[in-house]
Amino acid sequence: ADFDSKKKRKVAEIEQALSSDPIDVAALRRMAISEGGLLTDEIRCKVWPKLLSVNTDDLPPLPGKELRENNKDYQQVLLDVRRSLRRFPPGMPDDQREGLQEELIDIILHVLQRNPQLHYYQGYHDIVVTFLLVVGDRLATALVEKLSTHHLRDFMDPTMDNTKHILNYLMPIIDQVNPEVHDFMQSAEVGTIFALSWLITWFGHVLSDFRHVVRLYDFFLACHPLMPIYFAAVIVLYREQEVLDCECDMASVHHLLSQIPQDLPYETLISRAGDLFVQFPPSELAREAAQQQAERTAASTFKDFELASVQQRPDTVLRQRFRERPRGEERTKSVLTKPRTNRFVKLAVMGLTVALGAAALAVVKSALEWAPKFELQIFP
């Protein structure tokens, strides 16, 4: 009964935000991040376009079959889509699935044709099929095009340089919370390639339950483009004991981490990822993540949560705790030269998560700063 009343209250809040004039995008972001996300695909059809500033009254016409003629990506897209059987609901009739696969091919080719600066990558279809299944082909085409020129842009460069750069944020995040796990992974020389498919498909390729996939999409659509790498970090941190119990060699650790558990506590991990983003925004980690490339990434064109995080009570409490520590352990100004504070930071992160869910608060504070950037199309 309590769950039902919470759900009804949330649906009412979402409807109120949608009917506001102007639409209350800050509230919609908060709803997408907070527990349960956007609840139903019917609601996602209304809210996802608002999160991406897509005008549903002016959708592009459906692409025609002529797209496939002499298209350099057609054969690769066709191969990938044919291999995507498990991304469709089990028990779906073959003819219905085959029809959706044809639509999937057309959406991908349409976006690539309209945006020649974008380059197809294997795994892109895993993201597109999620939108197709939730909102249908016409709206999916518009949403995927906006997403591809914003959040996914770095994955669609001619080289993987920017994708590698984003992966480079993973270890610094882990190091902030758990230096022991960080050092173990460094000793094993496992690298970050185990998280590549997580990142470039927004976990769509590796999670078998579609409900978990769309819940994460709610979260990522409401957040900064680097949030998926923070979520990847909290998965590794959640598996701390498994990692430390593993043989300290590349093959063993890579095998362990690349097999993602299907029963993760998603709501807890979403909250932790948001809290870590507020505590350790990308700007603080950029030097460790090869800062010379940072100016070329889509993430760098978003304003960090820094201003918002300073205003949040959880972050203020954390700073106060740091100030109250003995002088001998005083932190330097640069987070990159901090003393190792594994246990302390972990407790602080847990405290933030339980207390107020800093991510939801920070997103609301910063939503108004983000929204004009989508409208002004600041990405080249």
Range of the domain at 278: 160-310
Banded pLDDT at 58 (limits 50, 70, 90): confident
Residue 186 lies in a domain: yes
Q: What is the CATH number of the domain that holds 265?
A: 1.10.472.80
Residue 187 lies in a domain: yes
Q: Report the mean per-residue pLDDT for the chain.
A: 81
Q: Is the pLDDT score of 315 beyond 70?
A: no
Q: Residue 359: its pLDDT value, please? A: 53
DSSP string for residues in 252-292: HHHHHHHS--S---HHHHHHHHHHHHHHS-HHHHTTTTTGG
Integer Cα distance of 133 and 348 in angstroms: 39
- 228 closest CA partner among 265, 282, 175, 188: 282
On whether the CB atoms of residues 366 and 140 are closer than 8 A, the answer is no
Residue 249 lies in a domain: yes
Q: How many folded domains does the chain comprise?
A: 1
Residue 304 lies in a domain: yes
* E runs forming strands in the chain: none
Q: Residue 362: its pLDDT value, please? A: 53
Q: Is the pLDDT score of 183 beyond 90?
A: yes
Residue 336 lies in a domain: no
User: Once rounded to an integer, what is the mean pLDDT over residues 46-64?
Assistant: 88
Burial of 13 (0-12, 13-18, 19+ CB in 10 A): middle
Residue 63 lies in a domain: no
Q: Is the pLDDT score of 361 beyond 90?
A: no
* Amino acid letter, 337: T
User: Once rounded to an integer, what is the mean pLDDT over residues 152-158?
Assistant: 94
Per-residue pLDDT tens over the stretch 292-306:
344 445 555 455 433
3-state secondary structure of 31: helix
* Amino acid letter, 8: K
Q: Residue 300: its pLDDT value, please? A: 53
- 208 closest CA partner among 258, 257, 260: 260
Integer Cα distance of 235 and 257 in angstroms: 9
User: Once rounded to an integer, what is the mean pLDDT over residues 256-270?
Assistant: 94
**Residues 6+ positions from 292 with CB-CB distance below 8 Å:** none
Residue 79 lies in a domain: no
Q: Is the pLDDT score of 148 beyond 80?
A: yes
Residue 189 lies in a domain: yes
Structure token pair of residue 213: 């996939």
